[in-house]
Amino acid sequence: MNVRNAHLMIAALGLLCLFLFYVSGQEKRTPRPGDQTPRPLKSPPDLPTPPGEPLPTDPLKGSTPTPTPTPPPIGCSTCATVPLFDLGPGATKFDVELAKGQKSTNASAIFSVIQSLDGISTITSEFKDAEEAPEGTRYVVWARSSDNEFIPLGEFKDPPTKVTFKRKLNRNRFGFFITLESLGKKINLESGSEQPSNRVVGVVLKLHN
Distance of CA 197 to the CA centre of its chain: 23
pLDDT score at 53 = 46
How much is the mean pLDDT over the chain? 74
Query: Domains, the chain, ranges and CATH?
Result: 79-207 (2.60.40)
* Cβ contact 82:203 at 8 Å: yes
* pLDDT for the residue numbered 139: 93
Q: What is the pLDDT of residue 65?
A: 47
What DSSP line would sit under the chain, residue for residue? --HHHHHHHHHHHHHHHHHHHHHHHHHHHSPPTT-PPPPPPPPPPPPPPPTTSPPEEETTTEEPPPPPPPPPP-S-TTGGGPPPEE--SEEEEEEEEEPTT-S-TT-EEEEEEEE-TTSEEEEEEEEESPPPPPTTEEEEEEEEETT--EEEEEEESS--SEEEEEEE--SSEEEEEEEEEETTS---TTSS-----S-EEEEEEEE--
Stated pTM of the model:
0.61
| pLDDT computed for residue 23 by the predictor | 57
- What does the pLDDT look like over 28-42, one tens digit per residue? 555 555 555 545 445
Question: In this structure, are residues 123 and 113 in contact, taking their beta carbons and an 8 Å threshold?
Answer: yes
